[in-house]
């Protein structure tokens, strides 16, 4: 015979002080876990949302990022005439040799400097990246040392407003426009003309080539052609696949979140265990009475485990609510971290997803059950006579 659920609910309300502290402790653990995972999700989505399935990225074989790649100008000429490449209405091949440059710039809040990734793009580079929109000012004019920065970068770095001037590698550049990267990896970049970037930063060759193929079959054919052509020690892969691989930048954040959650969960488990032990001690005679009334040990065990699970779920719901409020409050704020693939600063926003919240609730339930297990076993094994004699 199982104990009625009403019995557990009444006990939770009668001992409201210990109940409240247990719920708050678990809620804080769950909130920290959810917020750290939301940071990792935001980082991952900034790369996963990037790219066009019609585009192919060409980089040097073995390169994990454009910043460590090099494509010779002679190789760009060979690629330019491949039949698999789509063309615009003027008959021009949709291809953009890009240059990637990194240099350090001061933050707007005066907290130091950070690496900024500057991308030099060709005239057709804008058409290949339709998710990027100009929101203020104008696009750069080749030959005038002009750049366009993103809204998020503009809020984080000094002199990143329209008309602002900053120095990179000893050269002065002028901001003439603000763009919106559409919550993609492009939100972490500064754009300028590719050939001008090669000239200013003394780069003889390009870092990568972005191109659009006529269809999926043409993309596979192009990748195979580049793979087998000995003149092209390069590799071609879908642009979406390339940026999905860049989500490795989120791995350290996810590891830190899991580490902090594990460390705090150990404390939460002991706190829940202490609360349940105190509950068992205060209800010893009550437990003996339940046994006399015919309730078996497994019914007492299940009842106390259920009570611990109930407290943990209440704490989990409160923790999820706190994390959602935190993310909503910071919705218009951008954060940055070092991308270990590009060595530039990656700008991102916290992202709460339904899957993440379900994981947080499962995490809180595990904390509650583990914290209640030993006290519940003790309660179920109390001798009946000794329990009835306790004061």
Pairing type for strands 113-121 and 189-193 reads parallel
Tell which wins on pLDDT, 354 or 255: 354
pLDDT at residue 178 in the model? 94
Tell which wins on pLDDT, 332 or 308: 308
Among the residue ranges 110-119, 188-197, 279-288, 298-307, the one predicted with the least confidence is: 279-288
- CA angle 371/372/375 to nearest 5° reads 115
Among the residue ranges 163-172, 237-246, 252-261, 376-385, the one predicted with the least confidence is: 252-261
Whether residue 245 has pLDDT greater than 80: no
Q: Read off the tokens for 266.
A: 């150990």
Give SS3 for 96.
strand
The three-state (H, E, C) secondary structure of 169-194, written as one string: CCEEEEEEEEEECCCCHHHHEEEEEH
Among the residue ranges 107-116, 163-172, 255-264, 336-345, the one predicted with the least confidence is: 336-345
**What backbone phi and psi angles, to 5 degrees, belong to 134?**
-80, 125
**Domain range summary for the chain, segments of one domain joined by +:** 5-48+249-389, 62-232
| Residues 116, 106: Cα–Cα separation, whole Å | 10
pLDDT at residue 139 in the model? 94
User: Do 188 and 117 form a contact (C-beta atoms < 8 A)?
Assistant: yes
**What backbone phi and psi angles, to 5 degrees, belong to 201?**
-100, 15
Give SS3 for 45.
helix
Helix (H) or strand (E) holding 146: strand 146-150
Tell which wins on pLDDT, 54 or 155: 54
| Residues 320, 284: Cα–Cα separation, whole Å | 34
Q: Give residue 191's pLDDT band: very low, low, confident or very high (50, 70, 90).
A: very high
Tell which wins on pLDDT, 340 or 213: 213
Q: Read off the tokens for 170.
A: 């000893």
pLDDT digits (tens, 9 = 90+) for 273-309: 666 666 666 666 666 666 666 667 777 777 777 777 8
């Amino acid at each position: 015979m199982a104990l009625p659920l009403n019995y557990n609910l009444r006990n939770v309300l009668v001992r409201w002080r210990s109940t409240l502290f247990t719920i708050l402790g678990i809620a804080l653990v769950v909130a920290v876990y959810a917020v750290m995972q939301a940071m990792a999700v935001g980082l991952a989505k900034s790369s996963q949302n990037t790219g066009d399935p019609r585009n192919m990225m060409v980089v040097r074989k073995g390169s994990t990022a454009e910043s460590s790649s090099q494509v010779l100008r002679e190789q760009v000429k060979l690629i330019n005439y491949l039949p698999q490449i789509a063309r615009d209405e003027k008959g021009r091949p949709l291809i953009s040799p890009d240059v990637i440059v990194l240099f350090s710039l001061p933050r707007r809040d005066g907290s130091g400097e950070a690496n900024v990734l500057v991308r030099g793009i060709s005239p057709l580079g804008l058409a290949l990246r339709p998710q990027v929109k100009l929101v203020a000012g104008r696009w750069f004019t080749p030959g005038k040392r002009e750049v366009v920065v993103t809204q998020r970068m503009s809020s984080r770095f000094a002199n990143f407003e329209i008309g602002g001037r900053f120095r990179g590698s000893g050269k002065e550049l002028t901001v003439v426009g603000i763009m919106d990267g559409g919550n993609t990896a492009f939100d972490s970049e500064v754009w300028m003309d590719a050939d001008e970037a090669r000239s200013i930063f003394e780069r003889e060759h390009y870092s990568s080539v972005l191109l659009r193929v006529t269809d999926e079959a043409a993309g596979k054919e192009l990748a195979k052609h580049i793979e087998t052509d000995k003149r092209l020690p390069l590799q071609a892969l879908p642009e979406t696949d390339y940026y999905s691989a860049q989500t490795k930048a989120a791995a350290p954040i996810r590891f830190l979140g899991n580490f902090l959650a594990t460390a705090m969960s150990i404390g939460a488990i002991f706190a829940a265990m202490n609360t349940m032990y105190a509950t068992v001690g205060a209800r010893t005679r009550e437990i003996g009475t339940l046994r006399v009334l015919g309730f078996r040990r497994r019914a007492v065990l299940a009842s106390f485990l259920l009570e611990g699970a109930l407290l943990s779920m209440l704490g989990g719901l409160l923790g999820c609510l706190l994390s959602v409020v935190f993310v909503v409050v910071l919705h218009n704020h951008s954060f940055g971290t070092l991308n270990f693939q590009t060595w530039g600063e990656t700008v991102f926003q916290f992202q709460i997803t339904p899957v993440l919240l379900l994981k947080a609730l499962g995490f809180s339930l595990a904390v509650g059950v583990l914290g209640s297990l030993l006290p519940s076993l003790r309660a179920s094994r109390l001798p009946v006579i000794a329990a009835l004699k306790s004061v």
